[in-house]
Structure 1
């Protein structure tokens, strides 16, 4: 299988080549690249069947490369130094990846896995992975010690922050506690029509049932959310604008 390695650190490229040669895999390295721009030229010229693709490159990301290339007619194994970053971007799409430093057994498994994928299957998986990577689509990924939880934002009722932790309450009755502050999720949630009526809460506007002028929000699941005095004006503006949609 003709392959190229897109990785901005030479010692990692050389190490990967050494590992590939040691496992007697049917892999021929026909090119090495260290940037998005270089990878575009080499991929178009050499027409590889497999690309080992680092997520973070000197002039962009792996997904910049995938967006700019005309046709993805090759298989891909991503490379990254950050496990959470890799899983967040890739696991949802079931695209395989290698964690730096690359382990020979993981390399073997990745090659076996990618060999079973058709080009069409992988293309669909890359689209899903890109959406997660860019926080596109209507979902949020929560990171736990031994797993990652995908939250559908249409089903997320509200979030509550307390002493550096945030709890996510979903319409199916499930709740998830993560060791991050609400601030870490605020930008993403605001994009999804959530509002922060109080320092400790963010709410999904679609689940608002009633607002009591004394300063309390009633959600459709019966939860009462306080509105701080300094947030009252902005919340009411959001509420009335939401009502117009």
Structure 2
């Protein structure tokens, strides 16, 4: 199984077939999985799409404090604006929303404390 390996700790190299871009990890607000693609929502409203699953990036991003709150969402807790327990979703600082899995609600207890 392929996993993400990078030498630097502060940035993430996003590779597509013909292009690549370097993104600072602390600028990533939300990561959304879409079948075999991952969409990175970056501070400032930009999006980057990569042909890998979230699982590919998960071990590296967990070391930087990211939380997997749903099978399709991984969030940066520094950008959480609002938590709606009734509708079970998070609102991020840039207006994006992320659903919360009922089995992963326990990870949010770390965030709320």
Aligned residue pairs, count: 108
User: Gaps (5+ residues) in structure 2?
Assistant: none
Task: Specify which structure has the higher proportion of strand.
Answer: 2
Shift of 1:236: 1.9
What is residue 103 of structure 2 aligned with on the other side? 230
More relative contact order, 1 or 2 (CA 8 Å, 6+ apart): 2
Task: Specify which structure has the higher proportion of helix.
Answer: 1
Match of 1:188 among 60, 66, 80: 60
After TM superposition, list the pairs within 5 Å mapping 1:3-82 onto structure 2: none
Task: Name the TM-score, length of structure 2 as normaliser.
Answer: 0.88
Shift of 1:172: 2.1
Task: Name the TM-score, length of structure 1 as normaliser.
Answer: 0.42
Say if 2:48 is the partner of 1:160. Answer: no
Q: Please tell me whether the aligned partners of residues 37 and 52 of structure 2 are also in contact (alpha carbons under 8 angstroms).
A: yes
Say if 2:20 is the partner of 1:148. Answer: yes
Which structure: larger Rg?
Answer: 1
User: Gaps (5+ residues) in structure 1?
Assistant: 1-131
RMSD: 1.5
| C-alpha distance in 2 between matches for 1:145 and 1:234 | 34
Shift of 1:223: 1.4
What is residue 217 of structure 1 aligned with on the other side? 90
Shift of 1:133: 4.2
Shift of 1:159: 0.7
